[in-house]
Amino acid sequence: MASRPESPYDFERVLRRHALELPPLDIGTLQLNITKRCNQACRHCHVDASPARTEMLSDRAIEACLEVLARHAHIHTVDITGGAPELHPQFRMLVERATALGKHVIVRHNLTVQIDGDPATHTAMDDFPAFFAAQRVEVVSSLPYYQAFFTDTQRGSGVFAKSIEALRRLNAVGYGQDGSGLILNLVYNPVGPYLPAAQASLEADYKRSLFENFGIRFNRLYTITNMPINRFRLHLEKSGQYATYMDKLLAAFNPAAAAAVMCRNLISVDHDGHLYDCDFNQQLGMKILTPSGQAASIFDFDYPQLLARRIRFAEHCLGCTAGAGSSCGGATV
Amino acid sequence: MSSYYESDDLKKFAEIGRHAKPLADEFFKYYGMVTGQDGALSKREKALIALAIAHAEKCPYCIDAYTTACLEAGASSEQMMEAVHVAAAMKAGITLAHAIQMNNHLDKLIL
């Protein structure tokens, strides 16, 4: 039988070439992707989220997540994402109970859902800044650039103006303000197949421009590399840029960024309760497998077994290891 | 169909060392030192200068390379377009400045 030709972007081979092994270090963060529904349908979205998606984390799975969090004190952070997680009917209950467990709760909030409301039910969602402040959650919000052109190109017409309004509302309840303790971090990601600018210099640009033009304050800017999967990969392939982008990621491989990949410190949970090494693997269906070959799930969460697992890598992992690195918390080196 | 400019040729830039590698090595070392790091000018400022020169010199490879480089240095589309206008204004100014030479010669020729 003819063997399959080796991919030039084989991540495991890149690791071997650099004599790198990347075993899990701990599980400090449980990242919950609670719905793929979103009021937006961004061109780069690795989740392929949109108003038409229906996936929701079940009540039973939410209870299992909370039970795992209660049982494991060293899982200190709950990172709630989607889709737009606010569109999950149990979102507020989940946040309140995770907070009550003493966990640091991060909500990946797309800003515009405050203004748009629920695309299906048209329920208003303008009270989220007050809710977030009351729960003292950390808010992490995408804003691909500090000007409208790049932002609207990627996230849809009018998104920049709505995002600015939503940021003003978050500032008004204390988010991003000195001394409030309410953390508002923004996320930059490139509008095309290129690497992010240096995080510190771009953060300074964002802070200056957003304050001078709109009076907006925030805490940190996270630069995140676009992952060559799903909707963004389709765009790359259609425009004939996939190989060029992958070559760029491969050429920019940074061993220090590889050592700092986020999958070594977190577990991602999908709407069915299955477990993954990260949200990108989740979107590709690359489930964590138990030693017996079964898909690992939140219903039989086994911390020691998960810590002993072998992380599943693939071509897209080059996105997290290029240049200054990329993670849900921005650059890693 | 063949062409004098093929976008894939941009990837072959390193091949300029094929027949004179030591010289190419020195060039790339110098090129990297000048353009690849912050100095008295930031990487972004250098990328914008290079983008302007790419237009003035009409180099399609450089325009592609430095459009990307400007984005990777965090430049805005307005900054990039202004850089091209600087190149255009310089080209216009240089053209018009030569009118002095024309006038000088005209003064010599006419009675």
State pLDDT tens for residues A54-73.
Answer: 999 999 999 999 999 999 99
Superfamily of domain A11-319: Aldolase class I (3.20.20.70)
| pLDDT tens for each residue of A204-237 | 999 999 999 999 999 999 999 999 999 999 999 9
Token code pair at residue B102: 């024309």
Enclosing domain of residue B52 = 13-109
Return phi, psi of residue B15, to 5°. Answer: -70, -5
Instruction: Provide, as residue numbers in chain B, all residues whose Cβ is less than 8 Å from the Cβ of A202.
Output: 74
Find the DSSP H helices in chain A. Answer: 11-17, 59-71, 91-100, 113-116, 128-135, 148-155, 159-172, 199-214, 230-238, 242-251, 255-259, 279-283, 303-307
- Asked if A205 and B74 come within 8 Å (Cβ–Cβ), the reply is yes
Domain-located, residue B52: yes
Domain-located, residue B18: yes
Is B66 strand, coil or helix?
helix
Domain-located, residue B84: yes
- Asked if A195 and B42 come within 8 Å (Cβ–Cβ), the reply is no
Domain-located, residue B1: no
Look at residue B5 in the predicted model and tell me its pLDDT: 87
Instruction: Provide, as residue numbers in chain A, all residues whose Cβ is less than 8 Å from the Cβ of B11.
Output: 247
**Which residues does residue A105 pair with via DSSP β-bridges, in sequence order?**
A78
User: How many DSSP H helices and E strands does chain A contain?
Assistant: 13, 8
**Which residues does residue A77 pair with via DSSP β-bridges, in sequence order?**
A29, A104
Chain A contact for B9, CB < 8 A? no
DSSP state of A244: H
Overall domain count for chain B? 1
pTM score, two decimals?
A: 0.90
Enumerate chain A positions whose Cβ falls within 8 A of a Cβ in B: 145, 147, 149-150, 190-192, 194-198, 201-202, 205, 247
Q: Is A241 exposed, middle or buried (0-12, 13-18, 19+ CB in 10 A)?
A: middle
| pLDDT tens for each residue of A71-128 | 999 999 999 999 999 999 999 999 999 999 999 999 999 999 999 999 988 888 999 9
The span from the CA of A149 to the CA of A151, in Å, is 6
CATH code, domain with B33: 1.20.1290.10
- Asked if B71 and A192 come within 8 Å (Cβ–Cβ), the reply is yes
